[in-house]
């Protein structure tokens, strides 16, 4: 019998493991999705030797190999995942490490092949996971990945939702996770199309979509055009991918991007500036390379221009669902102002709930990393009002 996971099965507290913000966030990601205090101690010990992405990989792989020898499968899986995440796609080790992450994570959680499925979509297949609760289902939740996640990374949150009585289906769409690793199919903004393929495949109706990170914007897009979606959770909001990208750039570069890219001008200048920044900052360089792979483009200018297609303001007015928006006050990817922007454009929804998470709750970071249990508790409390027994009682009243 599979263990029942709850919102209490996550650590609380965003850790200061490494002085560089992005590296620190990624190391916290490994810790919080595993809840492994031994891994946290190992990451702290390795942190002084991590100077860049190469040394990050060099620090994680020995931890992964030793954990695997010791039978600590989830610890090994997370270290492989962290290494694969920052390794260029041209390096064959990336694919091997990603596969090992998936295999070890599934083995640790006891996830068998009966949970996995593939959904035909155009000329590719979308991998999917399906978790079915014991007893009567309280409804279906369809989880949408983001810009750089892997499905198996969300296994514990999915099992929490399933343990609370929900059928949970998660899938990688074009440009995401396994699809990106295996077929190199680029991301598309018209997320209603892969979503419809998933709903058709599993025969779903009256569903809640739960979008993680960029998935928070993709969920809004899907809900704008797919009537079988009746509830939307943005975990967190991401209404403007271009704005988020430009927002983390230095002020002069930010102005250059905002003035030139939307007009389709300045390719040489933008590419030159971004190449110089990437040469100074390996994390920026990695982000550009990964972004080009995700979007299926050849240079930084086209990458940034592609992000303009991921803005929800153009179609948010079409939503008629119940919507829960989540945001963190110290999110270093999505400024809190974007929450208000998203709220202002959802003019036709049935109901709108916004939850701002703070640093005092250890939940102010992107996607509440630091208190994932609180994020899930917030979702479940919000979903309670739509449970079948509640809706039946309301009809009788």
Q: How far apart are CA 240 and CA 244, in angstroms?
A: 6
Topology (CATH level 3) of domain 114-240+310-383: Rossmann fold (3.40.50)
Residues with Cβ within 8 Å of 190's Cβ and at least 6 positions away in sequence, in order, are 221, 225
Q: How far apart are CA 359 and CA 25, in angstroms?
A: 14
E-assigned strand segments in 190-294: 207-212, 229-235
Q: To 10 degrees, the CA torsion angle through 55, 145, 161, 156? A: -20
**Domain edges within the chain:** 21-109, 114-240+310-383, 243-308
Q: How far apart are CA 36 and CA 271, in angstroms?
A: 41
- CB count in 10 Å sphere of residue 203: 7
What's residue 395's pLDDT?
Answer: 47
What's residue 388's pLDDT?
Answer: 67
Per-residue pLDDT band for 141 (boundaries 50, 70, 90) equals very high
Residue 126 has pLDDT above 90, yes or no: yes
What's residue 284's pLDDT?
Answer: 81
Whether the upstream peptide bond of residue 191 has omega within 30° of 0, thus cis, is: no
The token duo for 163 is: 């343990």
Query: pTM to 2 decimals?
Result: 0.95
Mean predicted lDDT score pLDDT of the chain: 94
**Rounded to the nearest 10 degrees, what angle do helices 267-280 and 282-295 cross at?**
130
CATH number of 21-109: 1.20.1440
> pLDDT of 309-364, one tens digit each?
999 999 999 999 999 999 999 999 999 999 999 999 999 999 999 999 999 999 99
Per-residue pLDDT band for 393 (boundaries 50, 70, 90) equals very low
Q: Residue 211 has what DSSP assignment?
A: E
């Amino acid at each position: 019998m599979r263990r029942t996971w709850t919102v209490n099965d996550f650590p609380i507290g965003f850790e200061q493991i490494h002085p560089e913000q992005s590296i620190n966030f990624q190391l916290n990601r490994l810790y919080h999705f595993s809840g492994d205090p031994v891994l946290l101690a190992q990451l702290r010990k390795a942190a002084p030797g991590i100077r860049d992405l190469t040394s990050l990989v060099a620090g994680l792989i020995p931890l992964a190999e030793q954990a695997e020898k010791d039978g600590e499968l989830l610890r090994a899986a997370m270290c492989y995942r962290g290494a694969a995440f920052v390794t260029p796609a041209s390096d064959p080790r990336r694919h091997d490490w990603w596969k090992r992450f998936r295999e070890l994570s599934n083995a640790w959680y006891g996830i068998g092949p009966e949970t996995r499925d593939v959904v035909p979509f155009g000329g590719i297949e979308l991998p999917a996971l399906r978790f079915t609760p014991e007893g009567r289902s309280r409804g279906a939740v369809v989880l949408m990945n983001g810009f750089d996640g892997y499905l198996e990374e969300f296994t514990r949150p999915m099992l929490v939702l399933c343990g609370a009585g929900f059928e949970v289906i998660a899938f990688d769409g074009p440009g995401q996770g396994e699809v990106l690793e295996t077929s190199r199919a680029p991301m598309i903004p018209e997320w209603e199309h892969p979503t419809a393929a998933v709903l058709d495949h599993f025969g779903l109706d009256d569903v809640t979509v739960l979008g993680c990170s960029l998935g928070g914007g993709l969920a809004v897009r899907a809900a704008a055009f797919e009537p079988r979606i009746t509830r939307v959770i943005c975990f967190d909001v991401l209404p403007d991918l271009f704005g988020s990208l430009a927002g983390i750039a230095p002020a002069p570069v930010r102005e250059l991007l905002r003035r030139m890219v939307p007009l389709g001008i300045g390719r040489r200048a933008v590419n030159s500036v971004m190449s110089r920044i990437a040469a100074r900052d390996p994390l920026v360089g990695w982000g550009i390379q990964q972004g080009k792979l995700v979007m299926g483009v050849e240079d930084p200018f086209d990458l940034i221009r592609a992000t303009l297609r991921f803005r929800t303001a153009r179609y948010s007015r079409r939503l008629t669902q119940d919507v829960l928006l989540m945001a963190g006050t110290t999110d270093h990817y999505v400024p809190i102002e974007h929450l208000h922007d998203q709220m202002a454009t959802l003019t036709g929804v049935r109901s709108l709930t916004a939850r701002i998470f703070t640093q005092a709750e250890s939940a102010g970071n992107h996607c509440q990393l630091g208190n994932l249990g609180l994020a899930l508790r917030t979702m479940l409390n919000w979903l309670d009002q739509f449970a079948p027994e509640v809706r039946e009682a309301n009809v009788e009243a």
